A = this chain, B = another copy of it.
Amino acid sequence: MLVSELDTPALLLDRAVLKRNLSRMSARMKAHGIKLRPHLKTAKSAAVARLAAPDGAITVSTLAEARYFKQHGIADILYGVGIVPGKLDEAAKLGVTIVLDSLEAARAVASHGAKHKVLIEIDCGQGRAGISATSPLLLEIARVLGPHLSGVMTHAGHSYHCHSIAEVKAIAEQERSIVVSAAERLRGADIACQVVSAGSTPTAVHGERYDGLTEMRPGVYMFNDLDQLALGSCGADDLALSVLASVVGRYPERNQALVDAGALALSKDVSAHEFTPQVGFGAIADADLQGLAINDVNQEHGFINNATPALSLGRKLRVLPNHACITAAAYARYHVIDSELDGGRTVVDVWERVNGW
C-alpha cells in the first residue's frame, strides 16, 4: 500500500531512521563497555524491541508493557516507576525488576513472600523520585531489602531542560557520579550492589564517561522528536516518527487551513516550546511546506496558519511531533515506511503497540 492511500490520521515510523538511531546508540554503549537496557515507554512495540534490545534487556513504564513484552519472549524487564505494595503480586508473577525509594516500600517487599529483584532509586538532581545518594535511608532501605537488593538506579530527567550540550554533559556526569557514589556507599557497608543503572536520551547521547555504571536506559533516542532535536540529542535527519494528516478545510481569506490531526492525533504536549515555540503542536515535514506548523489544536482539528495554496483539500502531509512518547500513545499501530528503500512512499510493515495500563 502507498502511504498516500492511508486513512488519516496515521502514525508513520521510518524504519531506516529507526535502525540508524538504534545502531548509533548501540555502538556508543558498546564503545563504553556498558549494557544498553533501552526504555520501551516510547516505542511500546515488540517489533521495535527486537531491533533495539537484541540481548533482551529492556525497561518499561507500565505493567501493561511488562505483560506484553513478556508474552513476546522478553524476560529481563526493569519496571521503572516506583512500586507500590498493591503491585507486588503482579511484579513477582512477571518477574520484573522493581524500583523503590522508601522504607515502607522496602518493608512491603521484604514481607511479601516472593523473591524480588529491587533497585533503590537515587535522585541525581531532577527532584522527581529517589533518595539522595548521601541519605542514611540508602543503607537502611538496603538492609531491609536484604537478599532482594540488586542495585541502584537513577534518571537525569532534568537533562530535558538543558540549553547547551555543555550543560547536558555536566548533567550526564552528575547522573553517573551520583548513582555510582550510592553504589560505593553500599559496597563500603559490605552490601552487594550488582546493578548501577542510569540514563536518559540526552545523557546517553552526550555523556563523556560511564565508568562505574553497568547499564544505560535511554528511550526516545529510537525515534527522536522536535524536543530532542531542539535539545541537540539528534539531527533533523534522525526523526523517525511522524503523523500523516489530510487537509480538511482551506480558508484563504485568513491564510489558514485545517487538518484532521488535532489534540488526540498529535497530543497537547508542547515540550519543544522551551526552545522552539515556532513548532506549535507539530512541524510539517513536507519539503514544499517547510516552516509551516500545526499552530493550534482542537480534539480532531489542527490549525495551520500562513497556509499556502499547496495545502489543497485532501492533501496529505506529515507532521513531526514535539514529544514522540506522548504522540505515539494515541495509536494502536505504526505504519512502517523506509526512506532508504523508496523515499518512504510505501507501507512496508505494520507494527502493533501496547497502550494503556
Given the complex, which residues of B lie within 8 Å of A312, measured CB to CB? 104
Partner of A357, one of B9, B62, B129, B267: B9
Partner of A128, one of B90, B270, B303, B355: B303
Assess whether A284 is interfacial by the CB under 8 Å rule. Answer: no
- Knowing A81-B300, A104-B313, A313-B105, the reply to whether A7 touches B250 (Cβ < 8 A) is no
Assess whether A258 is interfacial by the CB under 8 Å rule. Answer: yes
Stretch in contact with the other chain, from A22-30, A168-176, A241-249, A286-294: A241-249
Assess whether A61 is interfacial by the CB under 8 Å rule. Answer: yes
- Contact check, B129 vs A301: say whether CB atoms are below 8 A apart: yes
Stretch in contact with the other chain, from A141-149, A189-197, A203-211, A323-331: A323-331
**Can you give 26 A-B contacts (C-beta < 8 A)?**
A7-B63, A62-B300, A82-B258, A82-B260, A84-B246, A84-B248, A84-B260, A84-B313, A84-B314, A85-B314, A86-B246, A102-B250, A102-B313, A108-B314, A127-B254, A128-B258, A128-B298, A129-B248, A263-B326, A264-B326, A265-B357, A268-B326, A299-B325, A329-B330, A330-B355, A332-B355
A-side interface residues toward B, CB under 8 Å? 7-10, 41, 61-63, 81-87, 90, 101-102, 104-105, 108, 127-129, 157, 246-250, 254, 256, 258, 260, 263-265, 267-270, 298-301, 303, 312-314, 325-326, 329-332, 355-357
